Amino acid sequence: MFNINELKWRDKPVKYIKLNESRNKSTIVNSKKEKMYEYYKCDYCGDEIRLDLKQHERSGGIVNLPHSLTQCGQVTVALCNKCVREVQKELEERLDKNIKWVI
């Protein structure tokens, strides 16, 4: 279930960084960490949306949900391609049932 109340107060989705630790045989505490790629987490299912790929090859992106769907202002969320339609249906069903969110 999509909880809009948690997402409406943040400015934009959080960018995460995937790090690759170098595996040395020594037991050094501070080993080198290399940045592999940046990604967003889908706010609906939690899958990774990689940002190092070209835009047409990505598995999702950032979506601005308008006030007409959320009833609490414009909300920016990160969604993967398979979740966009499910979130849209869920928000439209809530509008049909006249469920209002507490602001």
Q: What are the tens digits of pLDDT across the range 28-43?
A: 666 777 889 999 999 9
* Stated pTM of the model: 0.76
> Edge-to-edge, what's the strand order for the sheet holding 48-50?
16-21, 33-41, 48-50
Tell me the H-state helices in the chain.
4-7, 67-70, 84-96
Domain boundaries, the chain: 4-96
**How high is the pLDDT of residue 1?**
60
For residues 91 and 69, give the distance between their C-alpha atoms in angstroms, rounded to a whole number.
6
The residues near 63 (Cβ < 8 Å, ≥ 6 apart) are 76, 77, 78, 79, 84
